[in-house]
Amino acid sequence: MASEKKSASGVSLPEGFTGSTFFHHVLSEAVEEYSSVLGAAEFPAKAGEFKKTYDEALARFESVRASSPERVQIAHFIVKRTQQQLRYVGSEGELPFSEYVATGREPFALQTEVMTGSERLEPRIELDGRLHRGAEIEALLENFLGRDLMTDRAAAAVRWLVTHAGETGGRIDLSGHKFVVMGAAAELSPAPLLLAAGADVLWIDVTPPDAILAKRDDFSGTLHYVQEGTDLLESPGRIVATIKAFAEADPVHLALFAYAAGASREWRLMACMNGIVRSLDPALVRTVSLLVSPTVPAVCAAQDVEAAARRLKQRPGWQSMLRSLGALPEGQLERNGLHVSRSIVPIQGLSYQAAQYVSKLLAAETYAIQGTRIDGEASPVTVSANTAAITSTRSLTQPIFQAAFIGAPRFGVEIFKPATTRWLNGLMILHDILNPKAPGNAATIARNDRERAAALLSQQVHGGLYGLPYALGPAIQISALIGMAGRPDLLFKAIFG
């Protein structure tokens, strides 16, 4: 597990807390505030116990929260308490994050590049080095659905976008749309797709857009960036000022994609991006987009509940043997007819899980119901918060993950390559932004907030994880053993580094 030492400067967790103890703290506050509901979660009273058993504790917590009529209120409380306690350490001392970013700062000077390409974005999905277009996309979606890799609602989102493009000359045109992409250089960032579609893109990242600039003929939008790069954790105040200057009073789409591991950076980065969103005038925020990891405890679609039951019934003998030995516990928790996945991977660490659960999943629900203001009258904003499959990004190069990827197909789990996730989930983001009837659209009418929150998170490309009949943590360990049997070099790297 990565070190959780407190940052010496920049965006920081509260004094005296590590990523794991702060995660426990904000969930404990929710248990106290909503004791009549969350008491059933049997949440560990001590941070040390939570750290040892958080995969089970958090799955129980989410199964109780998500099945409760107060689902959205609990999400809002946890997000609010997280943001209220976030700090910034700088030359002015230690301040509440919200107070720091509210102080006027000088915006960064921006470089502007008008891309020279003339085409707009043609919907396509790359798989194994091949681009699928048009009818080939439909065949690919049917293949993924037949293998229980995605939900019907996710496939419907991609189909809508393909149809929409067909009605507009076969291309997606985002000219006139302004996007702020935080973490623009991330492997799964939608920045290249947005530029290809003709959008104005503000690139926020420590890494300048050299790769984009080298291929400017492939893009037709306008790129705005800071020559030396921008650090979200060190300069959130100046980034807020830069976003305001870029917007020029026009509403902007905000995409939250920054990621870095170690020293609780996963959580601090995601909380920082949320804090930036909430510091802006709500009139400036057109949409908010992010990707949710499949390794959070998620509400499973009915089709995946059925898939898990079917796959359990049809399991091979070796899985039956391991199951009888207790090595493969149940993959879903059921409460009040709702099923929550036991899909946490403990090796990813508590800071990673906090970022995904609090600052993505719960924050997305809060944006969609409450809006970008933590307090005050609710003013929902359009949100794209789709699940992306486990993807072999640079952050997953550890030998145990590489070995698990080899063994994953034995459990019916697909590991996607970055290009596939970038295209597939990128198209879904465009659907959520362009389709007025998308589940996360601010104008969407639902009978109640709980149904609205559930629909928002229903577009899932999980790669088979939510139809897995076993808890993911133990299944990954067995997958890794299978992988290492065929690749002994990975076992050597796991032991000796």
pLDDT in tens, 356-372: 999 999 999 999 999 99
User: How far out from the chain centre does Cα 61 lie?
Assistant: 19
Pairing mode, strands 252-256 and 338-341: unpaired
**pTM (2 decimals)?**
0.94
**Alpha helix (H) residue ranges in 149-257:** 152-166, 191-196, 210-214, 236-247
Q: What is the C-alpha to C-alpha distance for residues 389 and 461, in angstroms, rounded to an integer?
A: 5
Q: Please provide the DSSP assignment of 252-300 as one string.
A: EEEEE-----STTHHHHHHHHHHHHHHHS-GGGEEEEEEEE-TTS--BP
pLDDT at residue 118 in the model: 74
Q: What is the C-alpha to C-alpha distance for residues 183 and 141, in angstroms, rounded to an integer?
A: 28
pLDDT at residue 308 in the model: 97
- In the chain, which stretches have pLDDT less than 50? 1-7
